Amino acid sequence: MTTSLRASDTLTRDALAVLQPGFAGTSAPAWLLRHLEEGLASVGLFGRNIESAQQLALLTEQLRDVRPDLLVAIDEEGGDVTRLEVRTGSSYPGNLALGRVDDPDLTRAVAFELGSRLAAAGVNLNWAPSGDVNSNPDNPVIGVRSFGGDPHLVARHTVAYVEGLQAAGVAACVKHFPGHGDTAVDSHHDMPRIDADLETLRTRELVPFAAAVEAGSKCVMSAHILLPALDAARPGTLSPAALTGLLRAPRDQGGLGHQGLVVTDGMEMRAISATYGLERGSVLALAAGADAICVGGGLAGEDTVLGLRDALVRAVRDGELAEERLADAAARVRGLAAWARGVRRSDTGGLADPALRADRAGAEAGIGLEAARRALVVTGLERYRRPAGPLYVAALTSVANIAVGDETPWGPAAELERMVPGTRTGTYRAADGDVGAAVLADAGERPVVVVVRDLHRHPWTADAVARLVAAREDTVVVEMGLPQAPPQGALHIATHGAARVCGRAAAEVIARG
């Protein structure tokens, strides 16, 4: 009887260990602290959990008072996807801006600086960077989150980002394996499908992941996408062929040879939850080769944790999930937690790479803004005249994807209001009707600065911009998404992302010429 109870306790602790749940609030709820004592080894943080750096540090300290070797994970890509600065916008440009500059030393230094902020706040696993190749410009969920459309460019910057984060003592998690760039569907809403053959996947999607694994990325995140060339029945997150047969298999057997942690993308995303169900999907993911179940972006509470824990225990007892597979997954989670706890930064501040040491002064002086300035592509500057009076800034706002969220401010308006006194701003959406006419009426005599994201994907914004440029020859156009449409306007600025620093860099050009 005693042996049976001990085995049951071990099984329950292993089931808790593989979960990476979110929770509500800016302090730890009692139920979460209780489950940390019972075996929960990770938590995931989101914008709802963060008010300030000081508050975040207190929160992680509260959690580690219960479990010192806890993995505290966050979805902090910088750029458009930020949790640290969800209410203000990021101090660091995102991947597309860094890929545009194409200076791996700069990418490494930005990642190190961001990782240092995470580490100082007690975060030791970052669900970043995105290693997706942006091979489909109409992709609704990747876009500026990718370093670009060239697999080898994406690979060298993915590696640099991994190196920068991990030099700061934060485990990197390259996503979304085996690649989310060639999709036209957002997996938050439905199941995307990529029909490329295996050879195309190996020479395009898989190139950055192979490079990241070889560079020692501690973690890889799976994607909820169907790739018939790998598995015609199940999406990557639930596919043994993708996770065990491709990601884990040794290189000499055609795999990538990843020996670190495999984390799922959010299991509450509809590509999984609406098709398989949260609990069933989690069992299948563990059986396929995943080690950690990410859940909590949209689901936060004890009921979710208990339901998943019990589903995994039941699956082992019913013979659907091998006990050894669950134990192996739990051991990998604990192993990464042990690495993170044991990281000791060297006398150089963790900067083992000379290029990082050389860039340290730049990082402390505001490397995020430096990178944002370098990423700008400006058309028409030679004939542009700085404004003689107040401006009117019109932000044409489309629905943001769930990863980005709609609570984070974006655009150059706040900076232009500071730099050009008297400047006014307005926000416009597709439902507003004739947006071009509305902007002209609201602007009056003020020159117009029209700000867009992914003009090529939203016909209503393209129509509005065309009308404004035709009506006012001094119209300035700021593209803060993927710059696929041809430049237009008296001045056109492509920022390659909507981070706060990207907005400031654009505002500097508009205000000062």
pLDDT tens per residue across span 413-452: 999 999 999 999 999 999 888 999 999 999 999 999 999 9
Per-residue b/e over 30-64, b at no fewer than 16 CB within 10 Å? eebeebbeebbbbbbbbbbbbeeeeebeebbeebb
pLDDT tens per residue across span 479-489: 999 999 999 99
Give the up-direction half-sphere exposure of residue 375: CA atoms within 13 A in the CB hemisphere.
Answer: 40
Residue 317 CB neighbour total at 10 angstroms? 12
| pLDDT of amino acid 359 | 39
* Mean predicted confidence (pLDDT) in 189-194: 71
| pLDDT of amino acid 200 | 92
pLDDT band at residue 232 under the 50/70/90 scheme: very high
Query: At the topology level of CATH, where does 10-314+323-348 sit?
Result: TIM Barrel (3.20.20)
| Concatenated DSSP letters of 122-147 | T--EE---B------TT-SSSGGGSS
Q: Which of 305-309, 349-353, 438-442 has the lowest mean pLDDT?
A: 349-353
Does the domain at 376-512 match CATH 3.20.20? Answer given as no
Identify any residues that bridge with 74 across adjacent strands, giving them in sequence order. 45, 126
Residue 19 pLDDT more than 90? yes
Residue 234 pLDDT more than 80? yes
* Mean predicted confidence (pLDDT) in 271-295: 95
Q: Please give the helix or strand (H or E) that residue 42 lies within, else none.
A: strand 42-45
pLDDT band at residue 299 under the 50/70/90 scheme: low
Q: Where exactly are the structural domains of the chain?
A: 10-314+323-348, 376-512
Residue 297 pLDDT more than 90? no
Residue 349 pLDDT more than 50? no
Cα–Cα dist 86/76, whole Å: 10
| pLDDT of amino acid 186 | 53
Q: What is the mean pLDDT of the chain?
A: 91
pLDDT tens per residue across span 373-418: 999 999 999 999 999 999 999 999 987 655 666 678 999 999 999 9
* Mean predicted confidence (pLDDT) in 167-180: 95
Which residues participate in catalysis according to the annotation?
188, 265
